[in-house]
Structure 1
């Protein structure tokens, strides 16, 4: 099979999956080109990130420019009407014939998967092979969606990536981000399990960088553990960091620093983020042990 045939087959499969998952979610998908449609997407992003309509995370004119430059804005609409239920935006990155970058994505519950599959199908049709983006590593539900549902891999931990942020979701916190890579042709499989392969129960603990023994999370429970063979590491995040940040910003920041320390040392050792369990534990895997 040639590379061109392989890419064509991947595109066809992605397009079918986008259609099937959209039907299940009760939405229809389309790329957005018109000014009014892009303005509605900008307003939707304002609602998600809790910013004034006058200060959107991505203004309509910027969305229009990236579409004109060859990028794409995909949106999901309710079947019964034209209510916007999700949107995402992507541009091509270097090299332009292989890699793309997702600038922003948000969706109502159950709509994220068809939306990302539509984006994937469009990118494959236009020759992209990989898609990159970043997300807040403390938001466990996003980690689970990106690493388990989509099969992307966390490849880089970025400390305070955006600097101070003033939106209604991130305000008061430091903007650490986990960068992920999604192979559009063949997303990494989760091994048939939606949770970690081995629970982080009693066993070798990850040594705290400045103290011996079990590293503890801000709630006093274990924060991270390592498998006996050293090939896997597990790190826990809070149940709902967005709610925690609103209720107790100082505690949320302590969680940020604790998780940052584990990830920074793990990535320096060659680990990559490959999974997230339902109860908030990341699975990090050394490259030579990474799932296929």
Structure 2
């Protein structure tokens, strides 16, 4: 805690048992759920922290006067971490110089949501499929698409602006109609041995369901990877529901990313896509590696279970199976229609989640097994396939 001229900065501790309630209370004070400038609270409670973000509150000697999110921004050659302070003031403007002094020695760029005013210049897009930066006129369509796909309040539109400086701000159009977008943030570290390496958290993507046969999700992710490599960033990172087959096919078979960690109940949220606990894989894509760069070109794999000698099948649907020690491959069955199953039979969905959570928690992780592809048995049942981590991931 630092005190100067009645301005105090308090850095909140995510290990506090009341962490979720603290964020909810702050968001209510800032006008949630009706304040469109606020990021989703489930993001702040989880991914924001894991990517190196910090929540800070500002007080005078009597009360709360502001809330800030310190987003990772850059890493200086000497290892100093730099941040973008996304600032929400309650009822008065806080002087920038006072904020800078209060946060010293943390180097910050102060940014308020109203500062996000610059986007790509207006210009017609070509016919066919186009991927590129958003224009200001795209923002209403981005918000509408987010609501249609995720059924919740959109991420604030200003995050796509030049002033905020997101790691990735892309839209996809077909014949000049906006049909997809991708937003990513900078993060500090995504690999166990490089905590001070700048990486990208590929946070939120949506594609119009009417255009999902166009390969737009793959195109957006590849555009993000090419841009990362061009600026010297070698690692992209995101989270995904391990039971969503379409996402698994995209992440593993087309992009050649890998699931390196598993977190049960990652997001404290229940919605149309998460009728049961929102567990997540942590996905790592290294597009400069031998394995990862295959995902930059077309030709996704569709292996068969019979292609994997010695594979250990760890479950029969929602029921676990005994497994041998140290198999060369593991296979975990997942539903082919996870979203529909949750709405059709929530009890069965809960059993699937509980069983697979236990399997992933035991088997998946650094220095254990990583998930790298989807395979099918003769009946068409999909399986997530894992093998021990090792040099094949990095070469």
Q: Give the TM-score category using the shorter length.
A: 0.7 to 0.9
What is the CA–CA distance in structure 1 between the aligned matches of 2:322 and 2:249, rounded to whole Å?
19
Residues 173-252 of structure 1 mapped to structure 2, 5 A cutoff:
173-186=276-289, 187=292, 189=294, 193-196=301-304, 198=306, 206=314, 215-218=315-318, 230-252=327-349
Residues 16-165 of structure 1 mapped to structure 2, 5 A cutoff:
26-32=128-134, 34-51=135-152, 55-56=153-154, 58-64=155-161, 68-78=164-174, 80=175, 82-95=176-189, 98-107=198-207, 108-109=211-212, 110-165=215-270
What is the CA–CA distance in structure 1 between the aligned matches of 2:186 and 2:252, rounded to whole Å?
22
Number of corresponding residues: 248
* Cα RMSD (Å): 3.2
Q: 1:63 Cα shift?
A: 3.9
What is the CA–CA distance in structure 2 between the aligned matches of 1:128 and 1:260, rounded to whole Å?
32
> Gapped runs of 5+ residues in structure 2?
1-125, 190-195
Length-normalised TM-score, structure 1:
0.74
What is the CA–CA distance in structure 2 between the aligned matches of 1:28 and 1:117, rounded to whole Å?
13
CA contact (8 A) 1:224 1:233 kept: no
Q: Which has the higher helix share?
A: 1
What is the CA–CA distance in structure 2 between the aligned matches of 1:94 and 1:40, rounded to whole Å?
31
What is the CA–CA distance in structure 1 between the aligned matches of 2:347 and 2:177, rounded to whole Å?
37
93-102 vs 237-246, greater mean Cα deviation: 93-102
What is the CA–CA distance in structure 1 between the aligned matches of 2:355 and 2:308, rounded to whole Å?
17
In structure 2, the CA distance between the partners of 1:272 and 1:89, relative to structure 1 (3 Å rule), is same
In structure 2, the CA distance between the partners of 1:267 and 1:239, relative to structure 1 (3 Å rule), is same
What is the CA–CA distance in structure 2 between the aligned matches of 1:61 and 1:203, rounded to whole Å?
48
Cα distance per residue 1:1-30 (max 9 Å; x no partner): xxxxxxxxxxxxxxxxxxxxxx9x941111
- Bigger Rg, which one: 2
Tell me: higher relative CO, structure 1 or 2? Use CA pairs within 8 A at least 6 residues apart. Answer: 1
3-state SS of paired residue (1:161):
strand
Q: 1:282 Cα shift?
A: 0.6
Tell me the equivalent position of 1:169: 273
Length-normalised TM-score, structure 2:
0.56
What is the CA–CA distance in structure 2 between the aligned matches of 1:242 and 1:162, rounded to whole Å?
17
Q: 1:228 Cα shift?
A: 8.8
CA contact (8 A) 1:152 1:188 kept: no
3-state SS of paired residue (2:265):
coil
What is the CA–CA distance in structure 2 between the aligned matches of 1:140 and 1:232, rounded to whole Å?
19
- Report whether the alignment pairs 1:281 with 2:386: no
What is the CA–CA distance in structure 2 between the aligned matches of 1:284 and 1:28, rounded to whole Å?
35
Q: 1:286 Cα shift?
A: 0.9
What is the CA–CA distance in structure 2 between the aligned matches of 1:150 and 1:205, rounded to whole Å?
24
Q: Which has the higher strand share?
A: 2
Q: 1:276 Cα shift?
A: 0.9
